[in-house]
Copies of this chain bind each other. A is one copy, B any other.
Amino acid sequence: MTTDPLTATCPLPRTDTDAVLMGHGAGGRLFAELLDTVIGPIIGADPVAEDAAVVAVDGVGVVVSTDSFVVTPHDFPGGDIGSLAVHGTVNDVAMRGARPVALTLAYIVEEGFPVADLARITASAACAAAGAGVAIVTGDTKVVERGGADGIYINTTGIGELLPGAVVTAAGADPGDAVLVSGPVGRHGAAVMAAREGFAFDLRSDSCALNTMVEDMITAAGRDVHVLRDATRGGIAAVLNELAFASGVGIAIDESAVAVPDQVAAICDVLGIDPFHLACEGTLVAVVAPDAADDVLTAMRARPEGRGAHRIGVVTNTHVGRVTARTALGATRIVDMPLGEQLPRIC
């Protein structure tokens, strides 16, 4: 008896664990299990998490998203924990087809942390917010003892308004839709790993705000933009798997169509990591109606952050809940949901 490569997947390790693991925070299968079995049932939340929720306030749909940032090191080529905390949340709000309008900024700082570093990180966050056209409207600062926060942790929560004509949800992919990506993948994860390991690669994180590009995409195609996900923790592998599951469809991608920068590929070779599992912080996956794909790609490519936008695959009604990739050799492999433990504290 042979194993069908399209249904086989590596077994999840025993995760009826009694302790939280680093991998529970990596946005992969371990986190999904924690959400499905522990947190979700208690909160009563939909386990198919979107990047952001939509809340009715005085009859208006308000988009809300929250993220904490614990990246180490605090500084990496192309950004720092301050700019990342802004871009990450701005993008999560935008991924619901929304215009982010306000951010909260909450610090947990360690006693003895240099005030100069706090000022520098704050300035970086403020600059990133101004660049995205989003106001930082309120905040909080807590201080814990030395050793209690690895310097600084940051939470940002974003508030946004739905763009006119946008109907964007992780469950919106239809068979036949085109799968697009806004640029080369894996740059954030690789840049942070290189900074952490002291590798002298010429590589910058892609960390940037995607909200303006999203507005242009919605303007170009309206409700034909079905799904938007920024490929953060777990990389494009995680977001493609999540949207396949949420939409009840299959995703078939052409592996050679996914742009992986040489430096990212080199770091992945050294560390034994799949580039599809590496986090991006300024690169999104879009699922759009087939007739709208060219217009959306044109809108993306008109922006610097979408210059490298390209089509990587198609939504299918086979292999539901799975992501398959056609390799350069013509074989088909499963693009699995990352387990989660490889790259802790990448954001």
* Residues of A in contact with B (beta carbons under 8 Å apart): 17-26, 31, 34-35, 38-39, 42-45, 49-50, 52-53, 55-62, 64-70, 101-102, 104-116, 118-119, 122-123, 125-126, 135-145, 147-150, 153, 155, 157, 159-162, 344-345
User: Would A140 and B67 count as touching, CB distance under 8 A?
Assistant: yes
Closest beta carbon of chain B to A120's beta carbon, Å = 9
Task: Please give, as numbers and ranges, the residues of chain B lying within 8 Å of A126 by CB-CB distance.
Answer: 42-44
Q: Are A21 and B53 closer than 8 Å at their CB atoms?
A: no
Closest 10 CB pairs of A and B: A25-B143, A66-B104, A157-B157, A53-B137, A155-B155, A53-B138, A55-B102, A60-B60, A20-B113, A58-B60
Quick check: B49 and A138 within 8 Å, CB to CB?
Answer: yes
Contacting pair B64 A20 (CB below 8 A)? no
A64 touches B113 (CB 8 A): no
Known interface pairs A42-B123, A149-B148; A25-B101 also in contact (CB < 8 Å): no
Between-chain CB contacts (< 8 Å), 14 pairs: A20-B118, A20-B143, A25-B143, A26-B143, A42-B119, A42-B123, A43-B105, A57-B62, A64-B104, A67-B140, A69-B142, A104-B157, A155-B155, A155-B157
Q: Are A22 and B145 in contact (CB under 8 A)?
A: yes
Q: How far is the CB of A6 from chain B (nearest CB, A)?
A: 31
Is A140 touching B68 in the complex (CB atoms < 8 A)? yes
* Given the contacts A25-B141, A53-B137, A60-B60, A68 and B106 also touching, CB distance less than 8 Å: yes
